[in-house]
Structure 1
Amino acid sequence: MPYKKAYLWVVLATLLTIPAFWRGYFGRMSEVGWELHFHAATATGWMILLAAQAWAAHRRDKLALHRILGRASLFFFPLFFASAMLVVWSMANATAFGDSIIYEAHGEGLGAYDLLSVVGIGAFYYLALKERRSVHVHARWMIGTLFALIGPMLARLMAIPLFIALGASQAPTDIFYGALVLAHAIAFAIAVWLWRGAPIAGKQPMKWVSLLVVGQAAIFAVARLSDGWREAFMAMGRTDPTIWLLLGLAIGAALTWAGWQAGKVPGSKTAAPAAGAAV
């Protein structure tokens, strides 16, 4: 199994979400909407699930637990995916109603960024299920789902020292933009490092993870130049969030079912997972 210490890095990333999202969530939990509570719970749960799976995968006496957690992900992923859709809606809502100077300046860019992240999460999990019998490929697709969360977390962490150093001389919106660029440089470096260290079988997933990081930065910059996209995005923010919750659940469940079916052994009805497989 690859990445013997991966669970430690995932745990670290999970803990870093607390200072990263302190101003936006943890420090004002009583003020935010239910959709952010839902996303915080499911995103944290997803990271814990992946950390537990990575830990169990490297212990012979815990392989059964690894498979149990993998099957649990089949039910948990649609919730996580739906919460990601709700975050996009919450950004659109904040952009439409002027709840933040950051969203006023960058809302449509952040919305396009997060929509691409949602696509990446769905595609990577589908491929992880499809390739669940190839350990090196499966593990890297699963790790890929974390990169949609790593970028926003790193951007907020990078913003803290930048605000301290430049807060008196630069606009908050410019500092946030700089933090986002810096965060993506770091995320891209991590993805390329993982790609370089992967065996031939594992290089394809990490190549697409690297491209996702580049795509996130690019679409953020381009979307901010489109007035048409901004109007469409704000229109999304004026809709009922339940629509996006149900849509996310439906798409997440469809991706899970499709990935599971695609990964079955041809001619097998039960398609019991191979030893060491995730689900």
Structure 2
Amino acid sequence: MPYRQAYRWLLMLFPLIAVAFWPGYWGQLGTAPFALHAHGLTATAWLMLLTFQSWSIHARRAHWHRTAGLATFIVLPLFAAAGPLALQGMARLWRTNADPFHAAFGSQLVIADMIAGPTVVLLVVYAFARRRDRERHAAAMLATALLVLAPIIGRLFARIPGFPHGGWAGFGGFRLALQLAEGLTLVIALNLAHRSSTARFGFGLAAFATAAQMVGFETIGRTSAWNNWVMLLTEIPSMPMALAAGTSTALLLWWAWRNPLAVLQRTREPAPPATLV
């Protein structure tokens, strides 16, 4: 099986997530809005499921692996449904100048999250359709974890004492920290995509999304036209957006599961059994 140590790397993300998002989320669970809960908990659930899938297949627990794979039909649509809620919540914090951080970066962060969320869904749909090709499937599934690296690393960079205009109490260095984190994520994704042609789509798409976030944050995200669109986002009813995102994701997963893409075999040996990372 490919990427035998992947689950170990995924496990390392959880303490980093706790530290990076402690001031903005985990440290204020009692007062955090519903949208933030929905996004934070579903994203964490997805990473936990991904980690378990990676471990179970390498531990030869195929039954657990398949069961966890089927759980994707629940976790991923919930994650997708939470996406518009989180975007709208961030947009409203920016619009109302609720705090200095969101007043400065809320509008630009909307464009970054608008790229990341659908990319995760697309990668998993591709992975489902390619589940008979173990490496393509594994690469696409694992590539979803790369899209959380930049938000984690960026927040950690910005809180390093002595970081330009940063420190635990400041956020002025967040822009530089986020771009450094995006750049590091891009290098990792490109390196993984370069290692194997069968992994190129999964990690390559993660690299493309990361580059699009970097460019969008500094260009489109800083225009008045974008700000006007973010203002409009705050006025769209929340539940129809969430329902549409969750339902469409579930339908795409079902389509990919029922219609796996054929894998060209170089030999006449039968195709390997279907697996999930």
Q: TM-score, normalised by structure 1?
A: 0.89
**Would you tell me which structure has more helix in proportion to its own residues?**
1
1:8 maps to 2:5? no
The residue type equivalent to 2:155 in the other structure is R
The CA deviation at 1:228 is 1.5
**C-alpha spacing 1:165/1:116, structure 2 compared with 1 (3 Å):** closer
Partner of 1:233: 230
After TM superposition, the structure 1 = structure 2 runs for residues 254-269 of structure 1, keeping only pairs within 5 Å, are: 254-263=251-260
Q: Distance in 1 between matches of 2:63 and 2:248?
A: 29
Name the stretch that deviates more: 20-29 or 147-156.
Answer: 147-156
1:52 aligns with 2:49: no
> Any idea what the Cα deviations from partners look like across 1:28-87, whole Å, max 9, x if unmatched?
111110111122221111111111110111123x01111111111122210011122222
Distance in 1, matches of 2:262 and 2:204, equals 26
Give the deviation of 1:172 after TM superposition. Answer: 4.8
Which amino acid in the other structure matches residue 192 of structure 2? L
1:204 equivalent in alignment to 2:194: no
- Of residues 48-57 and 249-258 in structure 1, the stretch that sits farther from structure 2 once superposed is 249-258
Between the aligned partners of 1:124 and 1:193, the Cα distance in structure 2 is 18
* Matched ranges for 1:84-123 at <5 A: 84-123=83-122
Q: What secondary structure does 1:22 align onto?
A: coil
Q: CA deviation at 1:146?
A: 1.6
Q: In structure 2, how many angstroms separate the alpha carbons of the residues matched to 1:192 and 1:88?
A: 27
Aligned equivalents of 1:57, 1:180: Cα separation in 2 = 34
- Which stretch of the first structure deviates more once superposed, 43-52 or 229-238? 229-238
1:108-147 CA distances to partner (integer Å, 9 max, x unpaired)? 2111111011221121111111111100000111112222
RMSD in angstroms over aligned alpha carbons?
2.3
Q: Contact conserved, 1:96 with 1:235, CA < 8 A, in 2?
A: no
Tell me which residue corresponds to 1:180: 178
Residues in 2 aligned to 1:97 and 1:254: alpha-carbon distance in whole angstroms: 36
What does residue 125 of structure 1 align with? 124
Distance change (3 Å), C-alpha of 1:229 and 1:165:
closer
Aligned AA (1:210): A
Match of 1:42 in 2: 42
My pick for the range that moved more, 132-141 or 96-105, is 96-105
Check conservation: 2:140, 2:201, Cα contact below 8 A. no
Tell me the distance in 2 between the aligned counterparts of 1:160 and 1:12: 19
What runs of 5+ residues in structure 2 fail to find an aligned partner?
264-270
Q: Which position in structure 2 is the counterpart of 1:192?
A: 190
Counterpart for residue 141 of structure 1:
140
Contact 1:91 1:237 (C-alpha < 8 Å) held by counterparts: no
- The residue that corresponds to 2:33 in the other structure is 33
**CA shift at 1:234, angstroms?**
2.0
- Aligned residue in 2 for 1:213: 210
The 2-side partners of 1:114 and 1:216 are apart by 8
Calculate percent identity across the aligned residue pairs: 26
Pick from 256, 273, 276 the counterpart of residue 275 of structure 1: 273
The SS at the match of 1:146 is helix
Please say which of residues 138-147 and 231-240 is displaced more in the overlay.
231-240
CA distance in 2, matches of 1:82, 1:154: 25
The aligned amino acid for 1:50 is: L
Give the unaligned 5+ runs of structure 1.
Answer: 267-272
The residue number in structure 1 matching 2:153 is 154
In 2 relative to 1, CA 77–165 (structure 1 residues): closer, same or farther, beyond 3 Å? Answer: closer
- 1:2-47 deviation line (CA, Å, top 9, x unaligned): 1111111111112211110011001111111011112222111111
CA distance in 1: counterparts of 2:216 and 2:166, whole angstroms = 29
Matched to 1:102, the amino acid is F
Q: Partners in 2 of 1:264 and 1:241 — Cα distance?
A: 35
8 Å Cα contact 1:159/1:179 also seen in 2: yes
Matched pairs, number = 269
Deviation sequence 1:157-207 (CA, Å, 0-9, x none): 11111x5443489x9554110010111121112112212333x22223222
